[in-house]
Amino acid sequence: MSVLQLSGFGVDIGEQRLVSDVSLEIGEGEIVALAGASGSGKSLTAITPFGLSAGNGTGSARLGGEELVHLPEAEMAKLRAQKIGFVFQQPLTALTPHRSVRQHLQEAAMQAGGGAPTTRTMLAMLDAVGLADPQAKLAQYPHRLSGGERQRVLIACAIAHGPKLLVADEPTSALDASLRRDMMGLLTGLCRKQNMAMLLVSHDLASVERDADRLLLLKNGEVVEQGSAAQISQKPKSGYGKALMAATPRLTEEMLTLPDTGETLLEVRGLSVRFKKPGWRAGYLDAVKDASLTLAKGETLAIVGGSGSGKSTLGRAIAGLGPVNAGEITWQGDLLPPRKKRTAQHRRLIQPVFQDPVASLNPRWRVADSIAEPAEQILGTRPPEARIAELLAEVDLPAEFAERRAAQLSGGQAQRVAIARALSANPEMLLIDAAPSALDPLVADGVSRLFRKIQQERGLSMVFITHDLALARRCAHRIAVMDAGEIVEMATREELFSTPKTEATKKLIRASS
């Protein structure tokens, strides 16, 4: 039986048509995926039929035979509450920060008109989505949960009222490989078990290949290829599909040749970081334990691990952006002081590039101001306009971007601006914290190529923090694997994948395969 049917469906915003002539059908227990690069129209196609975008739907969209296009908002709201569940990319922003897990589940279960669920029912909801210690989690708030735990709570809320259709918009793109596999396994299992249809939006083609029944590839708001998800993911027919697959890192691809490395620049010995746990007499959390590593000139060292493994905390400590409780960091044999005592020259050596580039840019500043800031703060002089233009050219952006603001940039453009900002202080090392992880394959591949180009031209060293093992294999000379705050294994990329020594490494490889 058909649950959702789109026929000649389009999306208009103002006078502009952003999605054209999309047709698909999803039956009970089926999973249909929409994939494509950023701006392809996949999210608009998924949420506009249900009144959740600024666009106006055209053509036909039917849910269980009921026409959705031009449906009054009051009736649409009732239909959403009774028959549809939504899982979004960022659970921390999708969940209400001042409401507990219990309150979220109560609201979700009651939206279809039923009474308040019992504690036993809510515990069963959390148990169904694989959340450990559900009794304790009921009283927690979103900020007290890990990324994977928040996503499980969001899924529990999405299915609490027994929807006929689940709309999942990039539900796993910000998660590490193990969590990504677990979340998609959970979503597909729930759909099959409860005979629930799912419309999945994703740029993770490997996940789509495993989990979806059918796939539609969108480009500029139009379907360029559709059919079996496995067939399109393995052997796409369109040039666009082939480009998406080529841009997606895989553990089976041939290793790229990397530039030669020089003398040791950075050495970390016995570094430890601990944080006080929230709550009265709660003790301490050892986020990083006795970590040691080296980095040579022109080398890329990838630090990989699951969520909460300590990789970002270690990176921030190295760059002087976070605390250090024990150990030492040296640069060319000279001790780097604690973060509050680092001079401008110390800060120039290591410049960060963060995961969310738009959030890291001041929304009120022009691009030129953002790029100039590190040079002004560290070198004591503002770069002239010609220098700003040179830095923009170095990251493959035209000079006129200097007058734009963060809200006028795409994700890939914002990431390039963030890289230009880091380069303005003439650093010798970049700390790259999961920079391409939330970008689509084509944009992420472009950013990764840019990093390699800059490294070759400038001879920069890089510490690349990522949960994408295939990306680490593509771009890093050596890989350090972290688990529970410790570096459990470090080896060249050839050695790590041919003879992994620890169970943590083997688990990451299995999850990425």
Whether the CB-CB separation of 392 and 399 falls below 8 Å is answered with: yes
Query: Are 202 and 315 within one domain?
Result: no
Query: Are 309 and 425 within one domain?
Result: yes
- Quick one: residue 394, left, alpha or beta (phi over 0 = left, psi -120 to 50 = alpha)? alpha
Residue 254 placed within a domain: no
Residue 112 placed within a domain: yes
Residues contacting 392, CB < 8 A, separation 6+: 367, 371, 398, 399, 401, 402, 417, 420
pLDDT on residue 203: 79
Query: Are 340 and 380 within one domain?
Result: yes
Cα 153 to Cα 130: distance, rounded to the nearest angstrom: 10
Angle at 100 between CA 99 and CA 106, to 5 degrees: 90
CATH label of the domain that carries residue 462: 3.40.50.300
Tokens of 406: 């963060």
Give the E-state strand segments of 15-88 in sequence order.
Answer: 16-27, 31-35, 56-63, 66-67, 84-87
Tokens of 252: 């089976």
Per-residue pLDDT of the chain (513 residues; tens, 9 = 90+): 799 999 999 999 988 999 999 999 999 999 999 998 877 899 999 999 999 988 899 999 999 989 999 999 999 999 999 999 999 877 878 899 999 999 999 999 998 777 889 999 999 999 988 888 899 899 999 988 877 788 889 999 999 999 999 999 888 776 777 777 888 888 999 999 999 999 999 877 777 888 899 999 999 999 999 999 989 988 899 999 998 888 888 788 888 888 899 999 999 999 999 988 766 667 888 999 999 999 999 999 999 998 778 998 999 999 999 999 999 999 999 999 988 899 988 999 999 998 777 778 999 999 999 999 999 999 888 999 999 999 999 999 999 999 999 888 877 888 899 999 999 999 999 999 877 766 777 878 888 889 999 999 999 999 999 888 888 998 999 999 999 999 999 999 999 999 999 999 998 888 887
Residue 256 placed within a domain: no
pLDDT on residue 281: 67
Query: Are 151 and 269 within one domain?
Result: no
Residue 252 placed within a domain: no
- Find the domain containing 411 and state its range: 264-512
Residue 253 placed within a domain: no
Nearest one of 164, 161, 162 to 3, comparing CA atoms: 164
Query: CA of 4: how far to CAs of 23, 197, 343, in Å?
Result: 10, 8, 60
Query: Are 91 and 16 within one domain?
Result: yes
Query: Are 240 and 274 within one domain?
Result: no
Residue 257 placed within a domain: no
Residue 324 placed within a domain: yes
Query: Are 59 and 194 within one domain?
Result: yes
Query: Are 139 and 231 within one domain?
Result: yes
Count of domains in the chain?
A: 2
Residue 490 placed within a domain: yes
Cα 82 to Cα 100: distance, rounded to the nearest angstrom: 23
Phi and psi angles of residue 427, each rounded to the nearest 5 degrees, phi first: -75, 170
End position of a domain, from candidates 246, 277, 296: 246
Query: Are 45 and 130 within one domain?
Result: yes
End position of a domain, from candidates 246, 280, 301: 246
End position of a domain, from candidates 246, 279, 298: 246
The helix or strand, by DSSP H or E, that contains position 326, with its residue range, turns out to be: strand 326-331
Query: Are 235 and 373 within one domain?
Result: no
Query: Are 309 and 203 within one domain?
Result: no
Predicted model pTM: 0.79
Side chain identity at residue 393, one-letter code: A
Query: Are 279 and 240 within one domain?
Result: no
